[in-house]
């Protein structure tokens, strides 16, 4: 279900119009159950499913219980309204972006999500479905997040504010922030939580997509910050590294990434490329490039590719031997051997938008945003082994926890 709110109706919203939500079952004890949280971006919900086979549905969480309040606030401010509509008609492909990224709190009691259209991060109690806290980000759009290894801090990209905020995941208090390049995107904690790597992707909504116009896309770089001081300790511009190996026509907009278990090697995707690159952290150079097959039915007009993506989404098996790649525009996914860079079978997928790993590390979990489902690909065989229907336009998928006895609405 896609939610739309006419401007005239939104202007008349008041607190009195808030619709009560059904009560959720109260957990019997404090034991936790490992699950996967699926953020349904255009619907504003999170599906909760088992983290391993058979991937049964456990419940669904309304991640926008304060929707009327937020819309009243937005439609009352011309600047906020302009950005809100801008998000809808660019990154949202005509839809509101209501759940971009999400994580559970250490006690499993709440789910914290970034909401691009509402320009905030919010914590929702999974038992009461009430808002615990809300943090408005700098600028007018929230994007990718990352949670620290101890689960206590969450980093969120403020994509129009060129800032990463680091928040206490339990209270929403800002612990620090640091500046980034244009349009900060993915965040990754490294070195046991000592550093945060942020990837800034630049202006992906402009039609200037020809390689000769790449310079118009803004300041794209990797920013590395110390999580104790929140000071920037290093910046990496992939433009120099790409040019050094003769890839002048490649975009330096770093998209999803995966580190090897020892964090010595970074695999990363870039705008417009059907494949990925390998970067050695110590030597500070790109070591290998892997081009993956093109779908012959894909429109080669780069301006038609959503947000400059061609392939967007990658994850790595826990032992570091296999990558799982989401071929977003080419409608497939595949596994790749990290030693030989040989790909496995091409598995059909409807606009796969993200890839992660299931609870026991045996399978890649893929969001099929065009088919409103998540699918599982076995790392060993490279074959699809399961698929589960979820809500409208699933994107980020994260392993998390809920109270053992918790159940919520399933639709």
Alpha helices in 215-256 (DSSP H): 238-244
- Give the dihedral sign, CA 176/231/179/106: negative
Res. 278: pLDDT tops 70: yes
From CA 27, how far away is CA 11, in angstroms rounded? Answer: 38
The 45-50 sheet, strands edge to edge: 57-62, 45-50, 32-40, 394-403
- Confidence class of residue 409 from pLDDT cuts 50, 70 and 90? confident
Which pLDDT value is given to residue 30? Answer: 58
pLDDT tens digits, one per residue of 15-49: 332 333 333 333 434 599 999 999 999 999 999 99
pLDDT tens digits, one per residue of 76-132: 999 999 999 999 999 899 999 999 999 999 999 999 999 999 999 999 999 999 999
Q: What are residue 169's DSSP bridge partners?
A: none
Q: To the nearest whole number, what is the mean pLDDT of the chain? A: 92
From CA 163, how far away is CA 367, in angstroms rounded? Answer: 27
Q: Average pLDDT, stretch 158-186?
A: 98
The helix (H) or strand (E) run that includes residue 74 is helix 67-75
Q: Average pLDDT, stretch 149-169?
A: 98
Which pLDDT value is given to residue 410? Answer: 54
Res. 288: pLDDT tops 80: yes
Which pLDDT value is given to residue 408? Answer: 82
Res. 411: pLDDT tops 70: no
Apex 313 CA angle, 310 and 314, nearest 5? 125
pLDDT tens digits, one per residue of 171-183: 999 999 999 999 9
Token readout for 188 is: 């990754």
pTM of the model: 0.91
**How many residues in the chain?**
411
Contact 145, 122 (CB under 8 A): no
Q: What are residue 345's DSSP bridge partners?
A: none
Least confident stretch, 22-26, 283-287, 333-337 = 22-26
Domains and CATH numbers, the chain: 7-14+33-403 (2.130.10.10)
Which pLDDT value is given to residue 111? Answer: 98
């Amino acid at each position: 279900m896609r939610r739309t709110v006419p401007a005239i109706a939104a202007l008349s919203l008041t607190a009195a119009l808030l619709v009560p939500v059904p009560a959720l079952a109260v957990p019997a004890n404090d034991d936790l159950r490992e699950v996967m949280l699926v953020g349904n971006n255009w619907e504003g919900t999170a599906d909760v499913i088992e983290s391993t086979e058979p991937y049964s549905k456990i419940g669904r969480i309304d991640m926008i219980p304060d929707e009327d309040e937020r819309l009243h606030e937005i439609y009352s401010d011309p600047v906020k309204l302009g950005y809100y509509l801008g998000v809808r008609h660019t990154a949202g492909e005509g839809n509101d972006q209501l759940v971009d990224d999400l994580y559970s709190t250490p006690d499993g009691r709440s789910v914290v999500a970034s909401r691009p259209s509402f320009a905030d991060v919010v914590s929702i109690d999974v038992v009461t479905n009430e808002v615990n806290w809300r943090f408005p980000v700098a600028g007018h759009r929230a994007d990718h997040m990352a949670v620290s290894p101890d689960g206590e801090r969450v980093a969120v990209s403020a994509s129009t504010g060129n800032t990463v905020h680091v928040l206490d995941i339990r209270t929403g208090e800002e612990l620090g922030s640091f500046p980034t390049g244009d349009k900060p995107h993915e965040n990754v904690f490294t070195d046991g939580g000592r550093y945060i790597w942020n990837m800034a992707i630049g202006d992906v909504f402009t039609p200037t997509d020809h390689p000769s116009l790449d310079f118009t896309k803004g300041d794209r770089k990797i920013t590395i910050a110390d999580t104790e001081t929140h000071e920037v300790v290093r910046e990496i511009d992939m433009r120099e590294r790409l040019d050094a190996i003769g890839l002048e026509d490649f975009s330096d907009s770093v998209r999803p990434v995966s580190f090897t278990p020892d964090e010595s090697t970074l695999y990363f995707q870039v705008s417009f490329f059907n494949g990925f690159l390998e970067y050695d952290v110590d030597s500070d150079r790109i070591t290998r490039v892997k081009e993956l097959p093109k779908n012959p039915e894909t429109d080669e007009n780069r301006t038609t590719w959503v947000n400059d993506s061609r392939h967007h989404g990658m994850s790595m098996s826990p032992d570091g031997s296999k990558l799982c790649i989401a071929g977003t525009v080419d409608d497939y996914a595949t596994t790749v051997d990290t030693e030989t860079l040989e790909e496995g079978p091409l598995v059909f997928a409807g606009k796969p938008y993200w890839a992660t790993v299931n609870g026991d590390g045996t399978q890649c979990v893929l969001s099929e945003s065009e088919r409103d489902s998540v699918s599982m690909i076995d790392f060993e065989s490279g074959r699809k082994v399961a698929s589960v229907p979820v809500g409208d336009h699933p994107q980020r998928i994260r392993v998390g926890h809920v109270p053992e006895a918790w159940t919520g609405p399933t639709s």
